[in-house]
Amino acid sequence: MSKESKFVRQVIATVLLLSSVCAPPSFAEIPERPPQSDARVDLEADPNEAKVAPKIRLAALPPQRDSKTAPNASGDSASNSELVKQIYAQTKTAKTAKDFSAIVERCEAALDPSRQLSKQHTGDVKGLLAWALSRRGQERVDLAISLRAAGNREQFNAVLNASLADFNQSLETDDSRWKSYFGRSIALANLDKIESAMRDLNKAIELNPKSKKARFNRAELLAWKGDSESVGAAIEDYNFVLESAPKDVQAIIGLAHAQLATGNTDKAIDLYTRVTELQPNNSVAWQARGEAYQSAGNWKSAGADFAKGISIQKSAKAYQKAAWLYSTCPDPDFFQPIAALEYARQVEKIDPDSVESLEVLAAASAANGQFKAAVDFQKQAIKKTASVQANYQFNTDEMKVRLASYEQEQPYLQGK
């Protein structure tokens, strides 16, 4: 990877951490058939009952049916016609995975050769089956994300694999359903199968070029890839979304992240400012604009934005940004070791075991002349990256540069 590509990817990864995006890519291929799910997992659970709300930027499709008119086939038996109409009627009220499972079972029973459905009714039932499988897959993806947010990684994997089986069967039944490709792409992305997810999104967009949600999701995954070409393509997709939805905050933030990664700091600041105007209490926008100001060397504006972000949401990320600024700022007017250490300790309270927490504790300790503690914290941070690199690619080379600085009893100061 070129030096430029490494830089772009690092900047993208840093700013996207503010937004709870899906995990970065591992590029492994998904097997043609997912492994069987753990039978002990409740695959019919309602994701809306989860204790922790899902945290993923990838857009999901709203509940909706495809068919607008009930099936009607002349020449078929009365019992077959009534059965198909009954299945169709079920689709009007189905809302949960359990509801969609009931439709799947009735469709599969109706397609038994012994029923001798007419050709038209066979097509109708296959369409309803593909729809129900896709909708059940979507519900299971939502449930899986809720499980992961609640810290249940084992069941998260099992439910996602079940959702993949649903989407696969839906597409085997009807490979023209763009929504099935779209839904499967979200499941794949959550399993870090980014290349496979990208192929599904490309197919969904091919089948439905006007889908803003598919274009937004593709932009998010392109941004994660991080090379200059991918980020440029992401910018095109974000702009496509904003052409028809100029107030789409998530698309504006995504575009701003991408512009910042390509060095267009002024454009990024303008975009983040637009978000703060549309949503004054959007802490992500204030933090991200602070990052942009910081990259431009505008320390005063960066500090003001970080403070605003903290006032809105006292999160680990918000405190982390402020701690980093005040412990590493090369401008004496904004190098504030005592404030930095206070912010770093707030990060430690909220997220004590993270690499970011250890890093800001190290930087703040060094800023206060506590170099032994700084070295210890930095070594812990570097060691911890080995267990979390699947979720975010830390630049361990830069972390080691900071460690060397602390070992020489020097605080680490960032460039302009």
Strand, helix or coil at 6?
helix
256 and 334 housed in the same domain: no
Burial 45-79 (b: 16+ CB within 10 A, else e): bebeebeeebebebbbbeeeeeeeeebebeebeee
266 and 397 housed in the same domain: no
User: Measured between alpha carbons, how far is 366 from 409 in angstroms, rounded to an integer?
Assistant: 7
User: Measured between alpha carbons, how far is 153 from 75 in angstroms, rounded to an integer?
Assistant: 52
pLDDT at 30 (0 to 100)? 28
Residue 323 contacts residue 363 (beta carbons within 8 Å): yes
- DSSP code, position 246: T
296 and 164 housed in the same domain: yes
pLDDT at 170 (0 to 100)? 97
216 and 343 housed in the same domain: no
Residue listed under structure tokens 């099935």 = 180
Residue 126 contacts residue 110 (beta carbons within 8 Å): no
Whole-angstrom CA distances from 254 to 90, 188, 235, 260, 285 are: 39, 20, 8, 10, 10
Domain end marker among 246, 281, 305? 305
pLDDT at 71 (0 to 100)? 62
Q: pLDDT tens string for the chain (416 positions)?
A: 444 444 444 444 444 433 333 333 322 232 223 333 344 567 777 655 443 333 345 666 544 445 445 566 555 788 888 999 999 999 999 999 999 999 999 999 999 999 889 999 999 999 999 999 999 999 999 999 999 888 888 899 999 999 999 999 999 999 999 999 999 999 999 988 999 999 999 999 999 999 999 999 999 999 988 899 999 999 999 999 999 999 999 999 999 999 999 999 999 999 999 999 999 999 999 999 999 999 999 999 999 999 999 999 999 999 999 999 999 999 999 999 999 999 999 999 999 889 999 999 999 999 999 999 999 999 999 999 887 654 456 888 999 999 999 999 999 998 74
Residue 36 belongs to domain with CATH number: 1.25.40.10
pLDDT at 154 (0 to 100)? 84
286 and 214 housed in the same domain: yes
- Locate 161 and state its tokens: 């694999």
Residue 328 contacts residue 414 (beta carbons within 8 Å): yes
209 and 327 housed in the same domain: no
Q: How many domains does the chain have?
A: 2
Residue 394 belongs to domain with CATH number: 1.25.40
221 and 366 housed in the same domain: no
254 and 384 housed in the same domain: no
300 and 376 housed in the same domain: no
- 366: domain range? 314-416
- Locate 25 and state its tokens: 């890519």
State the CB neighbour count (10 A cutoff) for residue 282: 19
Domain end marker among 305, 331, 346? 305
229 and 354 housed in the same domain: no
Q: Residue 270: in which H helix or E strand, if any?
A: helix 265-278
Domain end marker among 265, 282, 305? 305
pLDDT at 273 (0 to 100)? 98
CA-nearest of 158, 142, 150 to 51 is 150
166 and 301 housed in the same domain: yes
- Locate 73 and state its tokens: 């086939």
283 and 344 housed in the same domain: no
